[in-house]
Amino acid sequence: MATTLTLFATSVGTGLLAGGASCAAVQGGLLAGAVTRRSPAASPVRAPASKGARRASQTAVKDRRPGRPPAAEPPAGPKALVPVGAFLAGKLVSHTVLGALLGVFGDALQPSPRARAMMLIAAGALMVLFALDLFGVKAVARLVPRPPASFGRLLRRSAKTDSVVTPALIGLATVLVPCGVTLSVELIAITSGSPLAGAAVMAGFVLGTAPLFAALGYLFRRTSQALSGRLAVLTGVVVLAVAAWTVVSGIQAGGWATFNLGGSSQASAAVAPSASAETGTGSEQKKPVTSGPVRMDSSGTQIVTLTVTDFYETTEFTAEAGVPTTLILRGKDSGGCARAFTIPELGVQEIVKRNGDTEIDLGTRKPGTLRFSCAMGMQTGTIDFVKA
């Protein structure tokens, strides 16, 4: 499992880069309804819908019908941010609780490295659908999960009082109206396999989206205007980029390919000769190699040593096939995703010691490539077994 701090930081980045704009397109109507307070004589605010680029570009306007007095002017200054803060606080609470529950589910499920990788790929594919929907591609409209329209109308009708509780409750309810990136992050919370890590994933994501939601909420509060339709297109581009990164990580986490993204840039290779190989001068035998990242011990077991810090410092090994092999994970102030070590082909999942050695028996390998990675597919490497 990736470390909680790494997952939190990654989720904050995802929220800042893609989540805020994507979720604003979906949840903008609820945000407008939550933070726009009206007098009893004021007409309702029409909030932007979330279906594709056309609906994302609609602005929340007030219906000024003849004979209806205008709505009371909302307060200026810090007071205008009070309902926005309440909305975001409610959203943070509900998503953090959901993340913890998803982490519990993942812990009980205990997915294998490749099952976890498939979830990451599914998350990336879901992001692609939402990006295409933001671009206004009609063919994907029916494939994108959406909340019932009646649910959104019910929440918007509930925002009729000046009580700060109302925006907080609507913020809590946004957990039932997820955007595409949110659904993808929820899958990542499951793969974390820990209630603490799952809560960190969702809390980090909401905090990452908070700056844009706060700015939008203030605009809604002061002017009842959303961003233009260009937001949907820009959001779609960012979501596609995040989707590509997620799919690549999933492919690497499953051990199907290695693109050397995020690993050490220095590759070290050394073929360990058999302890019985002759030197060619009489019957004298070559002594076992006793140092280096690949070596032979006195018993004839091949030792492959992978140093783990915040990265895998050696990402490419060459070892001898046909001999018993042990992989040593040598933690040296290890941290980040690198500590969550996996070998997808063998179903191996190990948490590297912060300082110390962890041994993994690889058995007697046939010629071929054995891939390893962190649980999230961000740190990768290979061991190439060759005939002596």
> Do 308 and 205 share a domain, yes or no?
no
**Contact criterion met (CB below 8 Å) for 38 and 160:** yes
Model confidence at 209, pLDDT cuts 50, 70, 90, reads confident
Output the pLDDT for position 387.
92
Same domain? 77 vs 226 = yes
List pLDDT tens digits, range 214-269.
877 767 655 544 444 565 676 678 778 877 887 888 899 899 998 864 444 344 44
Task: Specify whether 337 is located in the same domain as 232.
Answer: no
Q: Domain total for the chain?
A: 2
345 and 247 in a common domain: no
State the pLDDT at residue 151.
58
Same domain, 46 and 193: yes
Q: Are residues 244 and 330 in the same domain?
A: no
One domain, residues 12 and 122: yes
Give the mean pLDDT of the chain: 74
- Residue 145 is assigned to a structural domain of this protein: yes
Tokens of 43: 């007409």
Tell me the CATH number at 335: 2.60.40.420
For residue 40, pLDDT over 50 is answered with no
CA dist 175 and 172 (Å) reads 6
- Shared-domain flag, residues 108 and 221: yes
Indicate whether 275 belongs to any domain. no
Residue 293 DSSP one-character state: S
Examine the pLDDT at 38 and tell me if it is beyond 90.
no
Whose CA is closest to 239, among 209, 210, 204? 209
pTM of the model: 0.61
Residues 248 and 164 in one domain: yes
Structural domain including 355 reads 294-386
Same domain, 249 and 162: yes
Residue 278 in domain: no
What pLDDT score was predicted for residue 266? Answer: 40
Q: Within a domain: residue 116? A: yes
Please give the Cα distance from 231 to 227 (Å, whole number).
6
Judge whether 109 lies within some domain: yes
Residue 324 lies in a domain: yes
Residue 154 binned pLDDT confidence (cut-offs 50, 70, 90): low
Q: Which residues, in sequence order, are bridge partners of residue 343?
A: 348
Query: Which pLDDT belongs to residue 289?
Result: 52
Tens-place pLDDT, residues 93-150:
999 999 999 888 887 877 788 888 888 788 778 778 877 887 888 888 787 766 566 6
Candidates 181, 330, 192, 183; CA nearest to 253 is 192
Within a domain: 273 = no
Asked whether 203 and 118 are in contact (CB, 8 A), the reply is no
Same domain, 172 and 302: no
